[in-house]
Structure 1
């Protein structure tokens, strides 16, 4: 079973309830990730690790045709309600994706890839399902923040399975993930033939400062997320 599925099944209701307003999502990671999207009107986009559908809803609002994919069936139930114009598939990003080659104009992913252990096959699969010159935009936890903030991280230069206890979504849950150095974030995509176009280490918005001034001061001076845009081979 994928390592984070039990945790996110339990967190689904909380994500649905406060994911639109939780500052670290709504006023830090999500605006940074969506700023990397180009004109997606009438494009066919895969939301890889769609969760409860916040990014799916954004893509639909910009005119895209979207398939949302997630391993958590509980999350997908909320995603279907939030973005009824999209289609949804229950599948594991760590396995062969259930799509034919050259299916999508773009792939978008918000804070999902770091729950996948092996990234070389992941990015080969993303390259396979993208059309030539397709785009890939994704966010992950920042490698430096992961190493500094996970108590069980021991070696920055090695990939490690780590975990933390979350209580900000109304349910206290231990959430496992995989952390890796920056080189291991970039190399799998480059090795699969992607070209890096843009990188962003986002800082919190003014809305974040108003919502949580104390946490804003920390986020404004410490990295938390990393957002990247790649282009597939023509």
Structure 2
């Protein structure tokens, strides 16, 4: 079976069941709590009201604690179905949560639009060569021999 994440997450059933399947068990609940706490700590130096890009946003699970402490979050995901779950989950945050369907592998803004970015669980969906390319385009200039400069 050739599992394709670009198509898998575009299923309404997958989107509706995503969090329950991963974070409902006792171990899943502990992991969810620790991951959210860690992510909130990672952004603590940003002032309240800062805009954080969450890509892939998925169901908004990791955007939620950031919104709860006063940040604005713009979610990007290839799946409108996953973003529908996020919109429902985060509707209480009103205009502080915005989102759009976008493929971060191919869509890049021409200028910085965000104060910070959260990119949890994205690289595992790329083959290694695409991971290197994705990370390499993040501001690391290429040297003449094709390697990255420090």
> TM-score when scaled to structure 1?
0.47
More strand by percentage? 1
1:18 to partner: Cα distance: 5.8
- Post-superposition Cα deviations, 1:84-131, rounded to whole Å, max 9, x if no partner, equal 33111111121132x331211100122222113312442355559xxx
C-alpha distance in structure 2 between counterparts of 1:127 and 1:64, whole Å = 25
Equivalent residue, structure 2, for 1:56: 63
Partner of 2:32: 26
Structure 1 position 74, deviation (Å) = 1.1
SS at structure 2 position matched to 1:46: strand
CA distance in 1, matches of 2:60, 2:15: 11
Quickly say closer, same or farther: Cα 1:64–1:125, change in 2 above 3 A: farther
* Structure 1, unpaired ranges of 5+: 129-190, 194-234
Take 1:32 and 1:126, find their aligned partners in 2: how far apart are those partners?
23
Cα RMSD for the two superposed structures: 2.8
Counterpart contact for 1:51–1:79, Cα < 8 Å: yes
- Aligned partner of 2:135 in structure 1 is 123
Give the structure 1 partner of residue 43 of structure 2.
37
In terms of fraction of residues, the more helix-rich structure is 2
Aligned pairs for 1:164-203 (under 5 A) are 191=148
Query: Who is 1:196 aligned against?
Result: none
- Could you list the runs of 4 or more consecutive aligned residues of structure 1 that deviate by over 6 angstroms after TM superposition? none
Structure 2's unaligned 5+ residue stretches are 141-147
